[in-house]
Amino acid sequence: MYPFVTIGEYHAALNANITSCREAVVFYLSQIQQHTSLNAFVHVFEKDALEKADELDKKRIEGKSTGKLHGVVISLKDVLCYKDHPVTASSKILAGFQSLFNATAVEKLLTEDAIIIGTTNCDEFAMGSSNENSTYGPVKNFLDDSRVPGGSSGGSAVAVQAHLCMISLGSDTGGSVRQPADFCGIVGFKPTYGRISRHGLIAYGSSFDQIGVLATNIEDVALVLSVISGTDEFDSTVSNLPVEDYLSELQKPNSKKPVLGYFKQTLLHEGLDPEIKSTHLSLIKELETDGYEIKELDFDLLDFIVPAYYVLTTAEASSNLSRFDGIRYGHQETPPKDDLTEFYSANRSSGFGKEVQRRIMLGTFVLSAGYYDAYYTKAQQVRRLLCDQTKLVFNDIDVLLMPVSPSTAFKIAEKSNNPIEMYLADIYTVFANLTGIPAVSIPLFQHSNELPFGLQLMSKHFEELSLLRLGNELMKKHGPVKKCI
């Protein structure tokens, strides 16, 4: 078997001629083939990946300079554009659509010699927490195939979890990178809003969306993050702050221990699994013993964050998804109807799945004349309060600790008929998207039900390095997966 541990070790093995890019691609193609029942991939680019591997092997053997992600085998969530390859947002409405250009993040991966092996299944238009809302059917958790992998980047999480690729790029609007990483026992990193260009990422909620990285370890996240971050003339919301070399910074010794904090209310929440709660409390004690200063903080807005998130993201989605009407883009019903409005309606009714339709209607409603102030304006006010409070919190602490999800991976179909219950489970992840701060989910624990769960770390804007440092330290000391305390 091909033993992938980190990109660094893989590169050392390539340079020592112990392996080749072709061998890596062949290994992952056979893994994908063996695990089709997980339903993690929607398209596999076998021919392209093998050709690219050969090209890279030749380049390396000839002694030419190699990119930072030389031969790294990466999958893309089916919402990221890869020129001349299909992209469908796991929706029938985009069936048969091919990307006309590369997303900036994808372009940057390719410039550094990455190999794109395929696209991964997800909730339709990234709307969901279980990967059950996909036109391709549900993705299964590799640890227990009767359970969901989380969502919406469920295919990406399983692709990394089941060793179907080395790294996957996902998108995180309200937790879609961190929560599936949590359910699958891997690392999921969502950077600061604006750290990575959103150009070529199919939009869900544009003021929330951010590309994120799913990997087995923090070093790989650090490397990929420094490649895909940075300015871009195609995205006016991207930051022009210089991008750090996160991996080298990570490898330098860091003498100063960050001040940690947690919101009391997050651990007192009635929906939180008791074992997840007690494990977090024990970890806090252990960290104190290890010399960390930890502050217990008050957060009285907890009950408002999920409603605010769903009002604002559905409002943005209703506008973003209006372009998919079967004329400009997307699936067309046949035969076409004579009346244009009826034609749009027929195309959208059959092209979009139930959950997407629900959100478009909800978003249209909260933006409608009589209700705008009651819902949309109110939710914007909550967002403003959260941002103000976040600034104050990070005056006192460096890193905020939180659970990722109130439970471990649940059974397929367990919540699919109860959208409210599904939405409420996003309680710990949407905060980082409402405020734009970076957050990472690291796999540290194992529940008595044998499923993994992790710890979430958040910092102030553009302090990705603090998260990577602490995440790395905690994973080395407490991880990768520790039994519940």
Q: Closest separation between CB of residue 347 and ligand GLN, Å?
A: 24
Cβ of residue 268: shortest distance to ligand GLN, in angstroms? 23
User: Positive or negative CA dihedral for 68, 70, 76, 79?
Assistant: positive
Q: Could you say which of 97, 183, 204, 263 contacts ligand GLN (CB under 6 A)?
A: 204
Q: Which is nearer to ligand GLN, 176 or 229 (CB)?
A: 176
Give the helix/strand (H/E) hosting 120.
Answer: strand 115-120
**Closest distance of CB 204 from ligand GLN, Å:** 6
Which one among 121, 134, 152, 217 touches ligand GLN, defined by CB under 6 A? 152
* HSE-CB for 214 with a 13 A CA cutoff: 38
In the complex, least distance from residue 370 CB atom to ligand GLN, rounded to whole angstroms: 25
CB nearer to ligand GLN: pick between 134 and 347: 134
- Of the ranges 58-66, 124-132, 318-326, 440-448, which one interacts with ligand GLN (CB under 6 A)? 124-132
> Distance of alpha carbon 282 from its chain centroid, rounded?
27
Residue 173 sits in the site that holds ligand GLN (CB under 6 A): yes
- The encoded tokens of residue 440 equal 């990472």
Binding mask 421-440 toward ligand GLN (x if CB under 6 A, else -) reads: -----x--------------
> CA-CA distance, 154 to 34, in Å (whole number)?
18
- CB-based contact 53:22 (threshold 8 Å): yes
The strand pairing partners of 32, in sequence order, are: none
The number of angstroms, rounded, from the C-alpha of 46 to the middle of its chain's C-alpha atoms is 24
Stretch of 39-47, 110-118, 122-130, 477-485 lying at the interface with ligand GLN (CB under 6 A):
122-130
Q: Is 391 known to be catalytic? A: no
Q: In 3-state terms, what secondary structure has residue 117?
A: strand
Least distance between ligand GLN and beta carbon 470 (Å): 23
Q: Which stretch binds ligand GLN (CB under 6 A): 11-19, 102-110, 173-181, 333-341?
A: 173-181
Cβ pair 141, 158 in contact under 8 A: yes
Residue 96: exposure state from Cβ atoms within 10 A (0-12, 13-18, ≥19): exposed
Contacting residue, 42, 69, 127, 181, with ligand GLN by CB under 6 A? 127
Length of the chain, please? 485
Q: Looking at 134, 152, 153, 229, which residue is catalytic? A: 152
Closest CB 79 distance from ligand GLN, rounded Å? 9
Residues 57, 113, 172, 219: which binds ligand GLN (CB under 6 A)? 172
Pairing verdict, β 452-458 and 115-120: unpaired
Type of residue numbered 314:
T
- Does 124 sit near ligand GLN (CB under 6 A)? no
Q: Is 176 a catalytic residue?
A: yes
Does the annotation mark 477 as catalytic?
A: no
DSSP string of 36-82, one letter each residue? GGG--EEEE-HHHHHHHHHHHHHHHHTT----TTTT-EEEEETTB--
Residues 91, 134, 176, 229: which is the catalytic one?
176
| Token couple for 323 | 């372009």
* Catalytic center residues: 77, 152, 176
Q: What residues line the site for ligand GLN (CB under 6 A)? A: 126-129, 152, 171-176, 204, 313, 426
